[in-house]
Structure formats: C-alpha cells, structure tokens
Amino acid sequence: MTRWGMVIDLKRCVSCYACMIACKQEHFLPPGVFWNRIVVVETGKYPRVRKISIPVLCNHCEAAICVKVCPTGASARREDGVVTVDSHTCEGCRYCVVACPYQQRTYLDDKSKEYFPAQGLTELEAIGGDLYPHTVGAVTKCNFCAERIDEGIKKGLKPGLDREATPACVNMCMVKARHFGDLDDPESAVSVLIRERKGHPLRPEIGSKPSVYYID
C-alpha cells in the first residue's frame, strides 16, 4: 500500500523560504495563510550560538488527531496517506485547528485581504480566485499537492521522481533538502534516507505517527 511521506534534510536547509513561497504560489494562498513554514530557533550562548531552521508542514499523520475530532468527516485520510480537508463539508467548527498539536491548520475567516492593501488584487490573486478558490469559513491546510500527485499518477509519472507529480515545495528546494516518496516502499529514496540517516518525526511522543521525517 502506498503511503506518501516526506523527508527533510536539516543539514541542507538554508532557510531561504523558497518552499514557503512556492507553496503559496502553487495554491494561491491568501495573506496570513501558510501551508508551509520555517521554524527558526536559536540555541546556545554567545559566542557559540547556532541557528536551526526547521521547515514544517502538515505531517499527514497515520493516526491523525484532526481526522478523529472532525464531526462532519470533512477531514479525512486517503488510502495513500494524504490527509485532506473537504471545504464543502467543513462547517468551520475549528476543532481540528485547536486539536492539532503541530498547529498546521488555518481557519480561513476572511478571503478579501489583498497582498497589497488598497491596490486591488494582483493578476496572480485574481487568477487564483478562479483556479483555486478557497472557502471562507472552512479550514485549510497542506495537502501534499494532492492534485499534482493524482494527475501525475494518471499520466504514469512517479511522485518524488518526476517533477510534474511532486509537491511544489520539493521541486522548489534549491539545495535538495526535501525528498518525497512512498514510505511503504523500503527501496524508495525517503525510506533509504530514514533508514541510513536515522530519520525522526517531529515530537513523536504525541503519538500521531507523522509521515514527515527529518534527518540531521
């Protein structure tokens, strides 16, 4: 059974934020809505201060808490492991937003904000409103670019290997810090990386079994 997952190499990440921007552009996300973020932490004391950048996104957990708490079934986990939100079914109760321990969901309460206030929508924003409409009053989050994966598979492409079928953030990373593939395939690039470089999820003690791993 396919289980899509991601591995992020923290040694390679230079916190350029390109993945965050690529995601925003790919999905025409409104201002204030982020499906991908970079958590920047400083550790140590002068003169041995170290800055750690950790790209975070929805972990598409195997035991997703958001799916359990959703009263309408809008949050659901697909057979391939991708956790999605059906904005038409979502009633906006925000229980999933509150319950997610990784805080990777956003409640969209106002779509009218523009990136350049009082200057109207940019061409990209206007196109996005038609191509990829977001539902006000519903919850939104990373979907591992499910549209790209599904379209790619229909064309016989391999997500993680073929760019057209791979999430935008993975494609955009210029230092190749992100890897995407099938976690249930022991020979996939992601599985090999996790095995050889001791990949670990973020805060495994939560128990939700994330599908996003980090290597450092």
The one segment of 131-139, 140-148, 163-171, 190-198 that binds another protein by CB under 8 A = 131-139
Place of tokens 């975070």: 56
Is residue 56 at the binding interface for another protein, with CB under 8 A as the rule? yes
* Options 90, 145, 190, 193; binder of another protein; rule CB under 8 A: 90
Nearer to another protein, 32 or 174 (CB): 32
Query: Which residues, 6+ apart, have CB-to-CB distance to 87 below 8 Å?
Result: 74, 134, 135, 138, 139, 140
Amino acid at 94: R
Give the C-alpha separation, 137 to 92, whole Å: 5
The one segment of 64-72, 140-148, 151-159, 185-193 that binds another protein by CB under 8 A = 64-72
Secondary structure tally for the chain: helices H, strands E:
7, 10
Is residue 89 at the binding interface for another protein, with CB under 8 A as the rule? yes
Query: Do you find a cis peptide bond into 47, omega within 30 degrees of 0?
Result: yes
Are residues 183 and 3 in contact, defined by beta-carbon separation less than 8 angstroms? yes
Site for another protein in 172-201 (CB under 8 A): none
* Options 103, 115, 147, 175; binder of another protein; rule CB under 8 A: 103
Distance of CA 94 to the CA centre of its chain: 19
Give the C-alpha separation, 2 to 124, whole Å: 34
* Options 12, 95, 129, 185; binder of another protein; rule CB under 8 A: 95
The one segment of 103-111, 116-124, 148-156, 190-198 that binds another protein by CB under 8 A = 103-111
* Options 16, 18, 33, 54; binder of another protein; rule CB under 8 A: 54
Are residues 206 and 198 in contact, defined by beta-carbon separation less than 8 angstroms? no
Nearer to another protein, 72 or 122 (CB): 72
Is residue 21 at the binding interface for another protein, with CB under 8 A as the rule? no
Phi, psi of 194 (to 5 degrees): -65, -40
Q: Which residues bind another protein (CB under 8 A)?
A: 17, 20, 34, 37-41, 52, 54, 56, 65, 67-73, 89-95, 97-103, 107, 109, 135-138, 202-203, 206
